[in-house]
Structure 1
């Protein structure tokens, strides 16, 4: 019934009306106000509440002085620094390969994007089956004679291996997100540019650095922004592979909300993660600023 009401309302609006764009974005705006802005204001209110009628920074002082916060921040930043550059390089390589394929392109794209259909927790459990004591990696090393008996790889004594397992799981799970965006971006670059460069004797590497990368900057900026923001929200993969051995910021938020039942501190932690994400977003947008002449 509401659909027909909206349709009837749109029909009454003159096609050339200057208010037409505002009518069209009104439903989306209303949705964002109800399900994003209002909940965000509630979270912000909880973060700054002092338990009484006033507001203070007590919740922020609590989370910043907690002994796990520096460790969680360091682990989150290290994971982002280790995972995102590798994913950018892999996504660029995969996207370039896909766009050069003449046959089997759709099948390769389908296979490479399968991890996108797997939830974070499921991806962590899959890699847990590889790295756990009775998992594939231990079985393979034992069969090859590398070790005498299965080892507990994911323990506090092997924190480097815990970090490696989480990084590999994230690279496997989320690289396809960037790859899909870059494939679309490369597909929008006119082929005439490559043909002209080839006529003038430009090597494949020269064509990639002088044509593909500059014209791919808008898509690369979008992919990098999305991936960096998601990197600061990593939780389920870490919970599956590292548990409490490898604390991260989102894990601390979960702990405050559901283990310690402290909604104010959890809200404050959420705002801290938001602030970090915004800071890195500004850095990325300034570093990969798209020139006005590039519209791809």
Structure 2
């Protein structure tokens, strides 16, 4: 085989997979979103946008992403820095911190439901120390901030691990000589972090943030377990259109709206964290 064609042969299976399982379904969904009674129209989009729950679900989704992603990033950076500086027990600590990677979204939601529900751990602990007279139902429409907090904590606990793994790998690729040279010139640990770690970690930060932000806009199972209909988000409304209202056209329109928001957020992150040409440490 001619070596010139070898790269194309190697990427052919991946290209075929993407075309069959992503591109073709995407074309079908897009066609469904823009079609009503056989004609192309924006009616499905007008229907979902004009619904009274759309601005609430959009606001909840954006608010949750804005609250969770910065905390995830800060925790993942702190934990990754700590792991890479450990001399002993590094693998054990990293394994322990990444356990949530093996837990599904729904399972994570149920675990935190066991903490916040009326007969859960939080009520039992508060009752035992005398803070409350009797267990209370915390996850109700009367306590929207507690519902939001429970969902945010569940997401932070579940999703920090994926960012941690990416950042640990990224920090591990930074040459140790840079830090040794910085110490020779008297740079503090904080200055090393700002001038060496963060600039050279930009590709990993891009990957971690893009992945996490996209998943934040697609949050569903954790919200369903902890908030149900009390905390509507874009994905829960998409589910409702598809399976409760049996309106696949509106569900497809919601899916494209979520895709558009994800693409916009991705472009912002890539531009904000782009590496200038000829940049030096």
TM-score, normalised to structure 2, is: 0.98
1:19 aligns with 2:5: yes
SS at match of 1:99: helix
1:17-72 alpha-carbon deviations (Å, 9 max, x no partner): 2121111111110111111000000000100011x221100000000000000000
* Residue 33 of structure 1: aligned partner: 19
* Residue 194 of structure 2: aligned partner: 209
For residue 294 of structure 1, report the CA deviation from its aligned partner: 7.1
* Residue 8 of structure 1: aligned partner: none
> Structure 2: 5+ residue runs without aligned partners?
none
Spell out the pairing of 1:26-175 with structure 2 (5 A cutoff).
26-50=12-36, 52-175=37-160
Check conservation: 1:154, 1:161, Cα contact below 8 A.
yes
1:183 aligns with 2:142: no
SS at match of 1:151: coil
Equivalent of residue 238 in structure 1, options 191, 200, 223: 223
- Which structure has the bigger radius of gyration? 1
Q: Which moved more, 1:116-125 or 1:20-29?
A: 20-29
- How many equivalent pairs are there? 280
1:253 aligns with 2:238: yes
> Structure 1: 5+ residue runs without aligned partners?
1-12
Root-mean-square deviation over aligned CA pairs: 1.0
Q: Output the CA distance in 2 between the equivalents of 1:181 and 1:55.
A: 42
1:268 aligns with 2:253: yes
TM-score, normalised to structure 1, is: 0.93
For residue 293 of structure 1, report the CA deviation from its aligned partner: 4.8
